[in-house]
Amino acid sequence: MPGSGQIRQLRRRIKSVQSTQKITRAMEMIAASRIMKAQRRVQQARPYAEQIHEVIKGLAVANEVRSHPLLTPHDENAHVAVVVNTSDRGLAGAYNANVLKVAEATIREEERAGRTVELYIVGRKGKGYFTYRGRSATRDWEGLTDEPTMEGAAEVANVLMDRYATGELDRVWLVYTDFKSALTQAPVRMELLPVKAEEFEGGEEIAPEFLFEPDPAELLDRLIPRYVEAKVFHGLLEASASEHAARQRAMKAATDNADDVKNSLSRVMNQARQDQITTELSEIVSGAEALGSG
């Protein structure tokens, strides 16, 4: 016979599941609001990057850009950097696992080709993943993933550009998650350095009535690093939106699962209460019959 102790235990479990469900539902709503904010930031940053790109294309028509250190491929391709963009926090489903899978594949590909790979990690989860596997990062950053800033992107980009310009790195890959929609995010890799000169082809020469201060060549030297910073910032923003979308889906799934568990426990508890009532009624009827026959 189910006792009152079992029923109390079931009630405690149901209450615990309900408390968990409130937390996951709140986290789902927070993530949903942050997706919209992250999408707006992606859209707001796009004109800046597009305008820099267009200005460089216009200046490149009359000026040689291929000689810039960030556009010049190195004769040797022995040292490669892989920048991995993960999250600082968990509870985001397979978000980190997917981007880390692409990063691992990139590292294996470069090492099979005989190249030395250096890791640069954005996000606490990526750092923990590679540290556990005995691979330390040359540099890591935390606190950039939730709400990326241009200053944070510039810090990451400047470390990589300095090392590329001095010949310490020969190629730089940026691995991040591309936000396509609230339901679809795809981990991708982008060759950040060297910048391809072909990206600046097809521009129209800027009209001669424009005066440049400083001169066009010096302006190019300043704009190309800003272009690289904008690409890093774009990757951070896309990854941030993807992280929030993945967390929203994970928390929705957790909320739905908690609802299923709560319903299942309620059925078990109701059955236990029914069995207890039936048993008590049987005992009362049996006692009454015994008294009557006596």
| Residue 220: strand, helix, or coil | helix
> Lowest-pLDDT range, 3-17, 30-44, 102-116, 152-166?
3-17
CA distance 147 to 46: 16
CATH label of the domain that carries residue 260: 1.10.287.80
Residues 119 and 232 in one domain: yes
Is residue 290 included in any domain, yes or no? no
Residues in the chain: 294
Contact residues for 148 (Cβ-Cβ < 8 A; gap 6+) = 41, 233, 236, 237, 239, 240
- pLDDT tens across 234-291, in order? 999 999 999 999 998 889 988 888 888 888 888 887 887 777 777 777 777 777 677 7
Is residue 294 included in any domain, yes or no? no
Residues 261 and 218 in one domain: no
Residues 203 and 240 in one domain: yes
CA angle 120, 187, 244 (to 5 degrees): 90
| Cα Rg of the chain (Å, integer) | 30
Amino acid at 180: K
Domains: count for the chain = 2
Residues 236 and 275 in one domain: no
DSSP 206: P
Q: Which residues of 87-111 are buried (b: 16+ CB within 10 A; e: fewer)?
A: bbeeebbebbebbbebbbebbeebe
Which stretch of DSSP H or E encloses residue 192?
A: strand 185-193
Closest CA to 121 of 112, 131, 111: 131
Q: What is the pLDDT of residue 204?
A: 52
C-alpha distance across the termini of the chain, in Å: 27
Q: What is the pLDDT of residue 258?
A: 86
Cβ–Cβ < 8 Å for 227, 49: yes
Tell me the average pLDDT of the chain: 84
In this structure, what are the phi and psi dihedrals at residue 73, rounded to the nearest 5 degrees?
Answer: -65, 145
Q: What is the pLDDT of residue 280?
A: 72
Residues 63 and 182 in one domain: yes
Residues 154 and 214 in one domain: yes
Is residue 291 included in any domain, yes or no? no
Q: Domain range holding 54?
A: 31-249
- pLDDT tens across 86-143, in order? 999 988 889 999 999 999 999 999 999 999 999 999 999 999 999 999 999 999 999 8
CA distance 126 to 174: 14
Across the range 197-211, mean pLDDT stands at 59
Residues 132 and 37 in one domain: yes
DSSP 199: G
The two beta strands, 171-179 and 79-85, are parallel
Residues 171 and 273 in one domain: no
CA distance 5 to 2: 8
